[in-house]
Structure 1
Amino acid sequence: MQIQRNMDVIDALNWRYAVKKFDASKKLSEEQISRVKEALQLTPTSMGLQLMKFVMVESESIKKKITPIAYNQPQIEDASHLIIMCRKTDVKPEDIDTFIETAAKTNEMEVSNQAMVDYDKSLRVSLSIPEEQQKVWMDNQVYIALGNLMTVCAVEGIDACPMEGFNRKKLNEDLGFTDQNLDAVVIFALGYRSEEDYRLKFKKVRRPMDDLFETI
């Protein structure tokens, strides 16, 4: 069953699953990709900094390059598109400078406005943490975006599969992310499920409500 776009969110979440075999003959439209990009742009992140980059992969040759790095998982080449969800390697002072400038401009304020000055100071204090702690924090921001992306794709009727199974260091090196101070966290494959996907015969398994939730 192919879900209709903008279905009820619960129906959409029941419909979605991590696709293991995509129909390589079907491609997403430019409108679908545009909506996915807009949804990712609107993803909430801690302090609104969005210290990440989403690399859209359409090139079949680059997909083939990624396949062995992702342990030959067939989704890499069969999916319509890949989104490599990256974070910055570390937080630099200019990242905060750029954010404050953008926030001030968006809100039609001067950077020298006291509200902006206070916000700038708050950000620098909050992020004056060890680099390893910064990395964990930024990884978590990518996973916030991932959760949002999976829900949006389900509501839009787009099949998807988030993938952590890849050689992170080699992908960063081979695609030039290391030189851009980026670190790949998740590969997100999206497109259309194949009718031959073995996962279609399985029902969704989730813990019972009374086991999963507690009210205090």
Structure 2
Amino acid sequence: MQQNMDVIEALKWRYAVKKFDSSKKLSEQKINRIKKALQLTPTSMGLQLMKFVMVESDEVKKKITPIAYNQPQIEDASHLMIMCRKTDVKPEDIDSFIETAAQTNELEVTHKAMQDYDKSLRVSLSIPEEQQKIWMDNQVYIALGNLMTVCAIEGVDACPMEGFNRKKLNEDLGFTAQNLDAVVIFALGYRSEEDYRLQFKKVRRPMDDLFETI
């Protein structure tokens, strides 16, 4: 496949790979481009209350395999990215964001624009913890959508995976202690020519059925 193709052609090309070619590895340059794209992902209020954990270690992959119900993509993929969110929103998360925003815009934290934004954030996020969790899960899915599109354009095969024991993964990989909660495991690499999914065409609802103008 030609690299960096037209986005529509890239989206036609991509699919959720079920069998990766374990002999093919992503270059450091390719991984860095994917990381940069994720850094630029839009999120609500710009807070990015998440962490993306890259797994390259074969030992760690083997540890994850039974937690992810023995799905072969875990060990066959070149890399795994575990997309986590924070367990809750803490005051210091907002403090840190406001400080970074002020520095980036060459303003004092005490500037009215920063103070107004700070107040707006705290009011918006003064919601029950369960609502915070749903909101932060949704932010990870925004990043996931961006990640799948970027991978397609870059000619990287991928498979997002929600089928895993979330509690056990958090505990075994030390996420719980870091106040992180794994939402999605994202396998990256290159498809195997033996992947049974290659024999099937992409199925999508017709445009007229999917869209409506009012």
Aligned counterpart for 1:105 among listed residues 93, 103, 106: 103
Task: Determine helix, strand or coil for the equivalent of 1:128.
Answer: coil
Shift of residue 130 of structure 1?
0.0
Instruction: For 2:39 and 2:125, locate their aligned partners in 1 and report how far apart those are by CA, in whole Å.
Output: 22
Give the counterpart letter for 2:179 in structure 1. N
Give the counterpart letter for 1:182 in structure 2. L
> 2:141 aligns to what?
143
User: Could you tell me the TM-score, scaled by structure 2's length?
Assistant: 1.00
Give the counterpart letter for 2:54 in structure 1. M
In structure 2, list runs of 5 or more residues that go unmatched: none
Task: Determine helix, strand or coil for the equivalent of 2:191.
Answer: coil
User: Could you tell me the TM-score, scaled by structure 1's length?
Assistant: 0.99
Shift of residue 12 of structure 1?
0.1
Instruction: For 1:113 and 1:98, locate their aligned partners in 2 and report how far apart those are by CA, in whole Å.
Output: 15
> 2:21 aligns to what?
23
Count of residues paired in the alignment: 214
Task: Determine helix, strand or coil for the equivalent of 1:87.
Answer: strand
Residue 179 (str. 1) matches residue 197 (str. 2):
no
Instruction: For 1:4 and 1:82, locate their aligned partners in 2 and report how far apart those are by CA, in whole Å.
Output: 23
Runs of 4+ in 1 over 6 A off after TM superposition: none
Structure 1 residues 150-165: aligned runs within 5 Å: 150-165=148-163
Instruction: For 2:25 and 2:67, locate their aligned partners in 1 and report how far apart those are by CA, in whole Å.
Output: 23
Instruction: For 1:60 and 1:35, locate their aligned partners in 2 and report how far apart those are by CA, in whole Å.
Output: 22
Instruction: For 2:132 and 2:211, locate their aligned partners in 1 and report how far apart those are by CA, in whole Å.
Output: 31
Task: Determine helix, strand or coil for the equivalent of 1:6.
Answer: coil
> 1:170 aligns to what?
168
1:125-145 alpha-carbon deviations (Å, 9 max, x no partner): 000000000000000000000
> 1:56 aligns to what?
54
Residue 77 (str. 1) matches residue 91 (str. 2):
no
> 1:114 aligns to what?
112
Identity %: 88
RMSD: 0.3
Give the counterpart letter for 1:48 in structure 2. G
Instruction: For 2:110 and 2:17, locate their aligned partners in 1 and report how far apart those are by CA, in whole Å.
Output: 50
Instruction: For 1:46 and 1:5, locate their aligned partners in 2 and report how far apart those are by CA, in whole Å.
Output: 31
> 1:196 aligns to what?
194
> 1:93 aligns to what?
91
Shift of residue 4 of structure 1?
1.5
> 1:34 aligns to what?
32
Shift of residue 6 of structure 1?
1.1
In structure 1, list runs of 5 or more residues that go unmatched: none
Task: Determine helix, strand or coil for the equivalent of 1:97.
Answer: helix
Task: Determine helix, strand or coil for the equivalent of 2:26.
Answer: coil
> 2:44 aligns to what?
46
Aligned counterpart for 2:213 among listed residues 195, 212, 215: 215
Instruction: For 1:52 and 1:158, locate their aligned partners in 2 and report how far apart those are by CA, in whole Å.
Output: 23
1:99-125 alpha-carbon deviations (Å, 9 max, x no partner): 000000000000000000000000000
Instruction: For 1:213 and 1:5, locate their aligned partners in 2 and report how far apart those are by CA, in whole Å.
Output: 30
Task: Determine helix, strand or coil for the equivalent of 2:205.
Answer: coil
